[in-house]
Amino acid sequence: MATASNYKTASASHGPLLDLEHVVGELAAVRQEWRLSQQRSNEPGGRELPSRDALSDILKGLKGVLFPMRLGPTDLRQESEDFYVGHTLGVVLHALHAQVRLELHYTARHREALDSEALDAQATTLTRDFAAALPGIRRLLDSDVVAAFEGDPAARSVDEVLLCYPGILAMIYHRVAHRLYRFGVPLLARIVAELAHAETGIDIHPGARIGAGFFIDHGTGVVIGETAVIGERVRLYQAVTLGAKSFPVDAEGKPLKGQPRHPTLEDEVVIYAGATVLGRITVGRGASIGGNVWLTHDVAPGTHITQASARQDLKAA
């Protein structure tokens, strides 16, 4: 069995276990190469990018703010609910303001003249606007919870849905991320979306527009692209992809950013497990898409598409 004295003897006879000074120097050289290749500043200073860990803490607080008696602290009592929400919201918004400020300064540093005072004022306004949007976010989430409860015969209560369903957790994150995306901090929004992806296996780009009463049943493997537009009371099952069929490119062959390339689902559409819906197509109101269907064309309202009908359409084409 190794002991402290044995370790000291081994170190003395064979030299130090690690040449830390050499490793640190080599890592510094690699960082310098990267910064030069990316035209980054190497001047001394603090952190210039938002923190994934900080945003994880912010989302934990926001879940408690939005649903204090169910996702808040275990010892919370209803008579102190407003005090908890007010205190937690103050902490969360202060932390969010710091992250917003980092993204705004980072973007300005790489794209335009840096006006620190104006950017700080913009960060304050954005944080206030986000706070004002929270009641609307809560209402949308309530509609998602009800849709999950009413759409799943295995659900015994709305509380079970909120506490247990990965699709609801993904939508809490998405409703927050989408608001940040619309407010002009897409990096923060994307980090929030990836936190949800890591926790639930559901990958929703924060740019996707999703109406009220949205339900993802089971959830794992669902992918929803940036420019997808989803109406109200839509239901998806696991492993559904709302993706792009192709990517428009510029004269140099580079993908054009932000171009509409993902599907539009109208109200009350249902898409079953494993279906892949690609391109800027429209699936009409009340249509249903069967499991494992590969779909790249518009679907009329009320239509039911199965693998057999999809294969028949391909033969006719």
CATH of the domain at 299: 2.160.10.10
pLDDT at residue 151, as a whole number = 96
Q: Which residues is 264 bridged to in the sheet?
A: 229, 282
Same domain, 149 and 269: no
Q: How many domains does the chain fold into? A: 2
For residues 197, 198, 201, 202, the Cα torsion angle rounded to the nearest 10 degrees is -10
Between CA 129 and CA 257, with CA 267 as vertex, the angle to 5 degrees is: 55
Share of the chain above pLDDT 90, in %: 76
CA distances, 80 to each of 72, 155, 186 (Å): 12, 30, 35
pLDDT at residue 307, as a whole number = 85
CATH of the domain at 75: 1.10.3130.10
Same domain, 253 and 158: no
Same domain, 69 and 169: yes
- Residues lower than pLDDT 50 in the chain: 2, 4-11
pLDDT at residue 44, as a whole number = 62
Show which of 200, 235, 255 is a domain's final residue: 200
Enter the DSSP assignment of 299.
B
Angle between helices 116-151 and 81-111 (to 10 degrees): 130
Q: Which residues is 288 bridged to in the sheet?
A: 270, 304
Global pTM value: 0.87
Same domain, 244 and 110: no
Same domain, 153 and 81: yes
For residues 217, 220, 224, 225, the Cα torsion angle rounded to the nearest 10 degrees is 180
Same domain, 149 and 281: no
**Owning domain of residue 123:** 49-200
What are the respective helix, strand and coil percentages of the chain, to the nearest 5?
A: 55, 10, 35
Same domain, 196 and 230: no
Residue 138 included in any domain: yes
Show which of 200, 232, 265 is a domain's final residue: 200
Please tell me the number of Cα atoms within 13 Å of 179 on its side-chain side: 19
pLDDT at residue 68, as a whole number = 98
